[in-house]
Structure 1
């Protein structure tokens, strides 16, 4: 995306030593520690020096705002799922975006409560005012299938995220090749063109499948949570793989061979040789990230979630840390910073 909310391989993160006051104590206002809050699938959009975050719970999508990246503000409900319909239940991983002068929220939902989660599709909401807090109107289900002239043939789709590349608006998401009767179905990454923020205007193109040893071998092979990361002349898709409920959850990377190349062609994307961000002995199941910059735009930051324990399940918390770049323009995420270790607040953040 062409804004500070999205930016985008492996070495240790550099932590600065805590500043000491005359009393020999850490100046707490200059540092924070992970995790920063409970939750999963963190999403932050930076607009006019304000951070807007988005999340879901109990069938509701909320938005918060803050000038501090480490304190994302009060969660304000902006939309409630209808009692019936394709998007009545299982509201997952919303993202808020400012596109073409309006605020939009992209999310996944299903028609039936609970599992198996076989009905998930992707939808979009549009703010009817100039406010990220809405009110929002439901613009409907996005088409995520192979036969655009038959809208009822959308395929299972989650984690849809829009982005601009070379002036064209695209949608990227995680989906199934065919709808299935079990949610233990392999997930792939798909890309399609959009004619506006609420309309997909092409059939989908599969650009990645879980094929490498480091993204397979568990209970379910999947690629999900794709997010575009751009800097200078390079474009990346950072995505999650392995199982979200297990400690092996991790991030992989696709690199576009040339930012002028057609991103709809899988051959134009190169997959990383291994995970670009993965668990340590102390921080487990890291994945589903988003990217932003410090208040003064001099630093790049990754937000991600991690598991609260090694036991299978979806009890997770949200973390963040600074990342850097190699001399030739590739992101360096390092290792997840352990809980309780002081991290200097983003550059330019006020007390």
Structure 2
């Protein structure tokens, strides 16, 4: 049985108060009492962007997003996350005929090079999907011809993102173990540069829990988004269940303190979804959404997209995700970008059984708000 012990998160760190004020003001979020049972849900509403897979970062006081219409990648910029709703989109890359089916572009600034990278999947829409990368000195323009990322084993790959953790660059993505669509796993590999991996790929999550197998064929773990908690521990928050259903939801992987990101048994999985519209799949102590169905494929709105700027405990920070408004037929074509918020939730225990290592791990979880 899941053991969840919740305490109010710690106060915000004084050295980050300036960043906190800027970020919260831009998102229109007001900090509230965060003790258990007293959190007030304030819906942020639709951004009016009829698309999927949002990727949003902050650069200074400007917010940038990237999106795909299936064949092209566009950028938007605004003074707030909600402001992206009225921002014109600018074409930053148009796919040639040999690179169709452009999926889920991810924008991030690489701390090592100082350049902005957009990672995306392209291919035949089936077994041929592979990861590509393009870069620029500016977040909203100037991107060149993408290059194929030769990921370890060369298998189907989507939803990739790079990040630094403990002075090592990593790449995390959703992929197949073989050449057939049996299930989508999460993989991580070390990187030697922002566009090249080195060594093997390592599986860190498979969709094997009952709550992430409600809708399948295939069963999926996808859209991994790394973030670092106030204790310095690495998290990868991902989407589970079929993206074509209202069972789509967000779940969490937390790396144990001092753990190795490439060792699967150093990761602890939340005992249910942490953001979803169906109570039956949610972790005990988490509540279903009120206004949307099937929230998933999110973006933590971080400074430069860098997990080194992950927020402190104690307050809400901006989030973007896609979902379908309640009362609307759930389909890919009805997905809309939403702005919301998230915060760290302290003293949360994730439990497991029948695998190497300790059966429980207690640390920060996450709460998500519409």
Match of 1:92 among 100, 103, 113: 103
Match of 1:306 in 2: 323
Match of 2:280 in 1: none
TM-score normalised over the length of structure 2:
0.73
Match of 1:242 in 2: 241
Distance 2:37 2:253 in 1: 18
1:82 Cα deviation (Å)? 1.5
Distance 2:39 2:339 in 1: 12
Say if 1:36 and 1:70, in contact at 8 Å, map to a contact too.
Answer: no
- Report the secondary structure of 1:202's partner residue: strand
Say if 2:186 and 2:204, in contact at 8 Å, map to a contact too.
Answer: yes
Say if 2:189 is the partner of 1:192. Answer: yes
- Structure 1 or 2: more helix by fraction: 2
Match of 2:120 among 96, 100, 107: 107
1:134-159 superposed Cα distances (whole Å, 9 cap, x missing partner): 3222341112233xxxxxxx100000
Distance 2:172 2:148 in 1: 15
Say if 1:121 and 1:157, in contact at 8 Å, map to a contact too.
Answer: yes
- Report the secondary structure of 1:71's partner residue: helix
1:313 to 1:79, Cα distance in 2 relative to 1, 3 A = closer
Say if 2:320 is the partner of 1:317. Answer: no
Say if 2:59 is the partner of 1:76. Answer: no
1:229-285 superposed Cα distances (whole Å, 9 cap, x missing partner): 213222211000100011110111100001x32100001100111111101464111
Match of 1:63 among 71, 75, 82: 75
Distance 1:202 1:314 in 2: 39
Match of 2:308 in 1: none
Match of 2:364 in 1: 330
- Report the secondary structure of 1:333's partner residue: strand
* Superposed counterparts of 1:130-169, under 5 Å: 130-146=137-153, 154-169=154-169
Say if 2:56 and 2:64, in contact at 8 Å, map to a contact too.
Answer: yes
1:74 Cα deviation (Å)? 1.9
Match of 2:214 in 1: 217
Say if 1:11 and 1:332, in contact at 8 Å, map to a contact too.
Answer: no
Say if 2:134 is the partner of 1:121. Answer: no
Distance 2:129 2:264 in 1: 24
- Report the secondary structure of 1:90's partner residue: coil
TM-score normalised over the length of structure 1:
0.77
Match of 1:349 in 2: none
1:35 to 1:302, Cα distance in 2 relative to 1, 3 A = same
1:314 Cα deviation (Å)? 4.0
Please list every run of 5 or more consecutive structure 1 residues that lacks an aligned counterpart in the other structure. Answer: 17-30, 147-153, 338-351
Say if 1:139 and 1:198, in contact at 8 Å, map to a contact too.
Answer: no
Aligned residues, how many?
Answer: 296
